[in-house]
Amino acid sequence: MPRVQPALELTHVTEWLNGTDRRIEDHLAVEEPLEIRIDGKPLTVTMRTPGHDEELAAGFFWTEGLIESPGQIVEVRKISVKNAARDNIVSVELGDHSFDPELLQRNFFAASSCGICGKASIAAIRVRGLTHPNADFRIDPELLCALPALLRDQQQLFGRTGGLHAAALFDSAGKLLVIREDIGRHNAVDKVIGWSLVKGLLPLSDCAMMVSGRGGFEIVQKALAAGVPLLASVSAPSSLAVKLAREMSLTLVGFLRDRRFVIYSNPERCRS
């Protein structure tokens, strides 16, 4: 299959429409494994869409609690492997750090639909000391209703494949700060947070995050790790996501589309 760009592949398919079939070209979202290393040693593998891999690794380290401050990351770099078709390894070099040996011995595989595979329990996330986000953040409901269209307009890869999730950051005035796409919604979030970490913007106390798809538990915990006060999605949250959002005073918005949304926790941030 010819590669159009790192995140896309071109293929031929048969389209059936109104009783007639024809051969046409179609774009596929690329899904490939990315090995993340820590100081040269393999840590985990995640299935992702190539692109912004360094941001993905940095965001992963932050949202998984492997580092406590952005300054602990000395360098994030791609590693080339001889005769490999693509560079699918990222190494993160850390400065001052200490780890629980059991943490590094976990062999967790993050599939494209799940960002917390291998976690022993919910408690393993809650004991990380996540703090309540900015209580003073506000966004006008009319601005909130405009975010889905802004997100969709910037989803360049989704428009060509229909198979990618997106995560984006907006300020309280509705200005788009960054958007990232990936076949895994949790990867898209990690890329956004990794971008923020590299830019020195953490915590994201004055930003709203919007994600395509549903607002699952793993997305809520990643938003909390980045200090996001409001998380919105175009689909439904899970029960566990709602429980965590209420426990940590995160404003969680679901079904944000067509000038309608549902607030599952802390509605005071969504008032004019």
Active site residues: 114
CB 225 within 8 A of CB 65: yes
Selection from 113, 117, 116, 112 nearest residue 32 by Cα = 112
User: Is 128 among the annotated ligand-binding positions?
Assistant: no
152 is in an annotated binding site: no
CB 189 within 8 A of CB 207: no
Rounded to the nearest 10°, the torsion over CA 4, 32, 66, 42 is -120
* Of 92, 134, 102, 117, residue with least CA distance to 187: 117
- At a CB cut-off of 8 Å and minimum separation 6, what does 64 contact? none
Known binding residue 255? Answer is: yes
| Short-list 207, 222, 18, CA closest to 119 | 222
DSSP, residue by residue, 28-48: EE--EEEEEEETTEEEEEEEE
What span, in angstroms and rounded, lies between the C-alpha atoms of 110 and 98? 23
CA atoms within 13 A on the CB side of 156: 5
Q: For residues 111 and 116, what is the distance between their CA atoms, to the nearest angstrom?
A: 9
Confirm or deny that 180 is annotated as ligand binding: no
Whether 259 has a binding-site annotation, put simply, is yes
164 annotated as belonging to a binding site for a ligand: no
The annotation places the binding site at 255-260
